[in-house]
């Protein structure tokens, strides 16, 4: 339980879902964790709960990943509170699913502002310190939508393809400085985001059943299952994994059709 002892980690969108699970797993492994989240109330509640459960140092900071200055400020607060940032998880993300031709310009911009600009804003905020110290691990939460297209989900997969491109490009740019940049591509994971999507369908129960039928393991993932991989990539157990992506989908993207 001390695979991240002495490390300082920032996790965006950590008030709930996958981000909260990552923050909890990092804290349980000994990291000091900053929960950088748009909704400060959920971030504070998560930070309190995680500190109570693990005894780790936690800090909630209101952060809008679409605003570069907001992310810079969160990283500065993290440094002041706990010291230089060793690990950044760019987790904050939103679903924007629309028909390409009827989608509004605002929907397009909202999707890219959070799902791609948000990731870049995070990387840009921590990279100078990591390069200076010649150490760091950045983990970008992509999606299986980064490789495969589900009709009706535009433009989310376009942004997630971009997250993989950004991961590979920065991983190569900063490899000589010993900064690793990797992605995790989850398949369906049971979070509020997934429940919101089911609830938006004409028959939510049927949509849920259909989702659970699709994966080879006949279930969807848990946030904790993504968090375990984030711990591995953040730790000193993955020193030669860089510019790469780990898929966590129970094998679904390997399945052609039944």
Active-site residues, by number, are 156
For ligand NDP, the binding residue among 44, 58, 66, 167 (CB under 6 A) is 66
Judged by CB under 6 A, does residue 92 bind ligand NDP?
A: yes
Distances (CA, A) of 186 to 11, 116, 177, 189, 251: 16, 16, 28, 7, 11
Q: Which residues contact 82 (CB under 8 A, 6 or more apart)?
A: 8, 32, 34, 57, 59
* Residue 107 binds ligand NDP, judged by CB under 6 A: no
245 binds ligand NDP per the rule CB under 6 A: no
Residue 38 engages ligand NDP in binding (rule: CB under 6 A): yes
Of 192, 216, 217, 251, the one binding ligand NDP (CB under 6 A) is 192
Task: Answer yes or no whether residue 46 interacts with ligand NDP by CB under 6 A.
Answer: no
Query: Which position among 4, 12, 86, 182 is part of the footprint of ligand NDP (CB under 6 A)?
Result: 12
Interior angle at CA 194, CA 63 and CA 12, nearest 5: 20
- Where in 156-175 is the site for ligand NDP (CB under 6 A)? none
| Closest CA relative to residue 11, chosen from 41, 52, 46 | 46
Decide if residue 63 touches ligand NDP (CB under 6 A): yes
CB of 142 to ligand NDP, least distance (A): 7
> Residue 215, interface with ligand NDP (CB under 6 A)?
no
Q: Is 194 in the site for ligand NDP (CB under 6 A)?
A: yes
Q: Any contact of residue 250 with ligand NDP (CB under 6 A)?
A: no
Task: Check the CA dihedral 218-220-224-226 and report its sign.
Answer: positive
DSSP structure string for 94-126: ---EE-TTT--HHHHHHHHIIIIIHHHHHHHHH
Residues found near ligand NDP in the complex (CB under 6 A): 12-13, 15-19, 37-39, 42, 63-66, 91-94, 114, 118, 141, 143, 186, 188-189, 191-194
């Amino acid at each position: 339980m001390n695979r991240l002892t002495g490390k300082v980690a920032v996790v965006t969108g950590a008030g709930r879902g996958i981000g909260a699970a990552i923050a909890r797993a990092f804290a349980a492994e000994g990291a000091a964790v900053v929960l950088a989240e748009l909704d400060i109330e959920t971030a504070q509640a998560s930070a309190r709960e995680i500190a109570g459960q693990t005894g780790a140092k936690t800090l909630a900071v209101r952060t809008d990943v679409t605003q570069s200055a907001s992310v810079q400020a969160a990283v500065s607060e993290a440094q002041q509170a706990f010291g230089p940032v060793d690990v950044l998880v760019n987790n904050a993300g939103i679903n924007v699913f629309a028909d390409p031709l009827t989608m509004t310009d605002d929907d397009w911009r909202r999707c890219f502002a959070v799902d791609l600009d948000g990731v870049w804003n995070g990387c840009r905020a921590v990279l100078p310190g990591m390069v200076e110290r010649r150490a760091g691990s950045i983990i970008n939460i992509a999606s299986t939508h980064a490789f495969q297209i589900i009709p009706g989900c535009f433009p989310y997969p376009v942004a997630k393809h971009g997250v993989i491109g950004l991961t590979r490009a920065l991983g190569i740019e900063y490899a000589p400085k010993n900064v690793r940049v990797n992605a995790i591509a989850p398949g369906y994971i049971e979070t509020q985001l997934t429940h919101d999507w089911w609830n938006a369908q004409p028959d939510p129960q049927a949509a849920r059943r259909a989702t659970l039928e699709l994966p080879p393991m006949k279930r969807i993932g848990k946030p904790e299952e993504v968090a375990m991989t984030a711990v591995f990539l953040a730790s000193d157990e993955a020193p030669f994994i860089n510019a790469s992506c780990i898929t966590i989908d129970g094998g679904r993207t390997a399945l052609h059709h039944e």
